[in-house]
Chains A and B, each alone.
Chain A
Amino acid sequence: MPATVLAAVLLLLSVYGYFTGRRRAVALAGGEPRRLHSVPGYHGVFVALWCALPALVLMVLWLAVAPWLIDGLVLRTLPEGLADGGEAQVRLLMTDIRNLASGDIASRRPDPKLLDAAAHYSNLQGLSRWALFAVGTALAALGLAGARTRVTPRFRARNRVEAIVGGLLVLCSTLAIVTTFGIVLSLLFESLRFFAKVPFSEFLFGLKWSPQMALRADQVGSSGSFGAVPLFAGTVLVSLIAMAVAVPVGLLSAIYLSDYAPRRIRAAVKPALEVLAGIPTVVYGFFAILTVAPVFRDIGAFLGLNVSANSALAAGVVMGIMIVPFISSLSDDVINAVPQSLRDGSAALGATTAETVRQVVLPAALPGIVGAVLLAASRAIGETMIVVMAAGLAANLTANPFEAVTTVTVQIATLLVGDQEFDSAKTLSAFALGLVLFAATLCLNVIALRVVQRYRERYD
C-alpha cells in the first residue's frame, strides 16, 4: 500500500536529512563546530523536520480529501438515470460501486453500468495512491533540498527548531478542544437531521419508544415512535439502584479505611478495592448475566416475586459494585485531606471517633464527597456494557426494579450495531440520544469539578 511505503520513504529521507544537515553544518564551519551558532545536531533536525512535516501534512489532507473527489468523479461519469433518485439512492449506489471495486461478492448480479463505474473507481483509486506517493516524495525531497541550502554557520538552527517544536506542542494540546468540537458537531449535526423527521417535543416528552421502522408503508406500526421518556426513566432507575449500592458501601469503606483501619489492613484493602476499579466493564456485564441475575431470580421465585431475567435490579447492583472503588477512593482522598488538627481538636473535647467523623470530618469533607457522588452518577448514566448485557431491550416505563428496563446507552448501542443506513430516523435517533447523554454527563461533570475545586481551595 503506497501510503505505508510513503511513510517509510519519509522516514528514510528525514534520517538522511538529519545526517546531511549535520554534516553540511560541520563542513561549512570548517570542521570547527564552535564557529556555528547552533550545535550541528540542530541543523540536522532542522533539515529533517522540513523534509518530513510538509509531506506528512499533505498525506493527511490527501487521505481526507481524495475519497470525496473520487466519489464525485465517479458519480459524474455515471450514465443518465442511475443517480437521480435522491441522496439516499446515490449513497446506496456508491456503496455498491465500492463493494464491487474491492471485489466483495455482491448478492445480486451486478449491472454492467455499475461494473464500468467500479472499474473507473478502482482506476481512480490506484491513480490517487500513486499520485500521493509521487507528490509526497517530491515534496519531501524539495523540503530537504531547500532546508539544506539554508544551513550556514550563522544560521540560527536551534531557534528555528524550537519554534517548530513549540508549535507542534501547542497543536497537540489543542487536540483536546478539537475532540470536544468533533463530539459536539457530529452529535449536533446528526441530531438536527433527526429532529427534522421527529419533532423535538415528541422525542423529549413522548412516552412510547419503538424505533423499529417497517420496511413497507402498509405494515402495522410502520411509523416508529421516538418518545424517549421510558429510556430516561430506565437510565435513572438503574443509576439510582447503582448509587444506592455504591454510595453507602463506598463511603463507609472510605471512612473505615481512613479513620478506623489499622495501617496493615488499609495497606491490604486499598489495592484490593482498586482491583475492582480495574476490571473491564464487559466483565461486570458478564458477571451480571452469568451469576447475579440468576441468583436474584431464584431469590425472587423463593419469595414469590416475579423477577425478570433482565431485571433493572441485577444491572443496577452490579453497576453499583463497579462504582464502589470510584466513590471510595475519591472520598478517601477528600477525607484524608481534612486537616489532622480538626480531628485532634475534636478528640480533645472528648468526642469519640464516630462523633468526630459524623460532626467534624464529614461536614468538612462534604463538598468533596458530593463531587465524588456526582462524578460517580455521571459514570453510572454513561455506563454501557453492563446494561447492554444485563438490562433489557424493550422500552418499559416502570419504577419496578424487578422488571426489565432499557437505558439510553443500550439503545444507542443496539441501534448502531450491525448494518445501518444513515438517513433513517432509527439510526439518527441514536445520535439524538447521544447528544442528551453527552449534555447530561457534561453538566454533572462540570458541577462536580466545580464543587471539588471550590472545596480544595479552602484548605490549601
Chain B
Amino acid sequence: MTDLAPSMGGSVHRTARAEVRLRRRYAAERRLKWYGIAAVVIALAMLLALLGSIGAKGYGAFLQTYVELEVLLDAEVIDPAGTRARQALSAADYQVLASRALYVRFPDVTQRRARRELRAIVSPGAGFALRRMVLDDPTLIGGTVTLSAPVGDDIDQLAKGAIDRSAEQGRRVSDQQIGWFDALTAAGLIETRFNAGFFATADSRQPELAGIWGATVGSLYTLVVTALLAFPIGVAAAIYLEEFAAKTRLTDVIEVNINNLAAVPSIIFGLLGLMVFIQFFGLPRSAPLVGGMVLALMTLPTIIIAGRAALKAVPPSIREAALGMGASPLQVVTHHVLPLAMPGILTGAIIGMARALGETAPLLMIGMVAFVTAVPDGITDPGTVLPVQIYLWSDSPERGFIAKASAATLVLLAFLILMNGLAVWLRKKFERRW
C-alpha cells in the first residue's frame, strides 16, 4: 500500500502527510487499546498479588506442629491433699507435668536457664489438655499418659522452616532449642498435622492456641441480628416507597436520605452506635447485639435500594390483573408483587449481608476489639467478629499471629464467596424476563 501511494498522487488522502497522519491515528488507536489492556492487567495482577500473598502466608496456619510426650500424672502435683475434689483438680498446675516429661527426655539439662528454654518447646496448651484429661477421668492420676501437645510458636515456626537456622543472632530460637527439636524429630516424636484447634477455639495470647471459632460465632450472632432487623425493615420501606408512597416532599426527603446514607462512611455509623446504643440506651459494649444493630443501620439503604429495584422490575400488568380481580392494594403487593420480586430482594439482601460480614471500622467504635478468649454464648456476651480478629492478629508482633491473620482472612473470604455465590445462584435460578 505505502509504495503505491506516491503514484496515486491525485487523492489528498494518499499524500505523504496523509500517510503520516493515518499512521499516527492508527498508533493512537493501538495505544488506547494497550492502555486499556494494561489497566485491566494491573487490576487483575493486584487481585492475584493480594490473594497470593495472603494464601502463601496463611496456609501454614492450618497446620500445627505437635510433640508427643509421655506425661506422668503425678498425684503429688495434681492433688497433694488426695481429696480428688473437682476444684482442686482444676486449679492444679499441669504445665509442670508437661515440662517434667521434657526433663525426663533430656536428663542432662539441669541449668535453670537451659531448663526454661527447654520448657518453651511445649505450648501452655499442653497444661490445658492435661487438665481436660484429668477432669474427664480422675482415675488417670498417678499413671502415665501419652499426650500430643502443640509446640510453642517459635518452635512451630522452626518446624515450618520459617526460621533461618544459620545464625543464632537475632533469632527467637536458640541453637540449643534447635538441637532438642532435632533430637525429638529424630526420635519420631514431632508431627505436623491439620490444626483442628484453629477451628475450635477462641483468641489466645499464644499464637499456637489461638483459633477463629470465637470470632466465627461472634460474626454469626452479629449477622443474625443484622438480618433480623435489616431485612424486614428494609423490605417494608422498599414496599412503601415503591408501591404506596405518593410523590410528596416527605418521600423525596426519604429518597435523598437513603441515597446519602448508602454513601456515608461506615465509621460514622460506628460513632452513631457508640453514642445512641451504648451511651444513651446503655446497651453492653462489645456485644454482638449492638454490632448487629449498627450493621443493620448500615445495610438498610443497600437492602432498600435493591428491594425497590426488584419491585420495579415486576411489570404493572401483574398489579392491574390483581386489582381487576378485586384484590386490595395491600393484597396486590403481598400476594402477587412481593413473591415475584423476592428472589431479587434476597439477592440484594445477601450482597448487603456479605458487606456487613466484612465490615470492621464501625465495630471498632463499639468496642468489639476486646480480647475475648471465650466463645460468646449469646448476643449480649462480649465477642468479636472475623474481620476484627484479623485486625487484632495483624497488629501482633508474633510471627504465628501473622499466619493466623492470613488464615482467618482465607476463611472470611471463603464465607464471602459462599454468600456471593448464593446470591448469583439465586439470580440465575429465578431470574425472569417479562
Contacts and interface: CB of A to CB of B under 8 A. Distances in A.
A282 B359 CA distance: 8
B405 A286 contact: yes
Contact of B54 (A257, A283, A382, A412): A283
Given A173-B254, A279-B50, A445 B260 contact: yes
Contacts of A412: 267, 271, 365
Task: Give chain B's interface secondary structure class.
Answer: helix
Contact of A158 (B275, B301, B304, B328): B328
A101 interface: no
A256 B40 contact: yes
A169 B236 CA distance: 5
Interface stretch (A79-87, A114-122, A199-207, A436-444): A436-444
Residue of A328, A383, A384, A442 most packed against chain B (CB within 10 A): A384
Interface residues of A, number: 90
Contact of B39 (A166, A252, A275, A430): A252
A67 B263 CA distance: 34
Interface stretch (B23-31, B92-100, B147-155): B23-31
B53 A352 contact: no
Contact of A175 (B54, B237, B265): B237
Interface in A378-437: 378-379, 381-385, 388-389, 409, 412-413, 416-418, 422, 430-431, 434, 437
A442 B26 contact: no
Interface stretch (B83-91, B198-206, B276-284): B276-284
A165 B328 CA distance: 13
A176 interface: yes
A41 to B, nearest CB: 11
Given A162-B330, A176-B254, A283 B50 contact: yes
B264 interface: yes
Given A248-B39, A282-B358, A383-B265, A357 B32 contact: yes
Interface stretch (B113-121, B135-143, B164-172, B239-247): B239-247
Say what secondary structure dominates the interface of chain A: helix
A327 B89 CA distance: 62
Contact of B43 (A63, A187, A276, A388): A276
A352 B26 contact: yes
A217 interface: no
Interface string B245-280: 100000001101111110111111101101110010
Contacts of A417: 364-365, 367, 369
29 contacts: A172-B240, A173-B240, A174-B254, A182-B272, A189-B275, A248-B39, A252-B38, A255-B32, A256-B37, A273-B40, A278-B420, A280-B359, A280-B360, A282-B391, A285-B391, A286-B54, A286-B394, A286-B405, A290-B394, A352-B26, A352-B28, A354-B33, A384-B360, A385-B387, A385-B391, A389-B395, A409-B265, A417-B367, A431-B275
Given A256-B40, A389-B391, 18 more contacts: A64-B281, A176-B261, A180-B257, A183-B271, A186-B271, A248-B39, A252-B40, A278-B358, A279-B358, A286-B390, A353-B33, A354-B28, A385-B360, A385-B361, A385-B391, A416-B274, A417-B365, A437-B265
User: Top 8 A-B pairs ranked by shortest CB distance?
Assistant: A382-B265, A256-B36, A280-B358, A186-B275, A252-B39, A384-B361, A172-B236, A169-B240
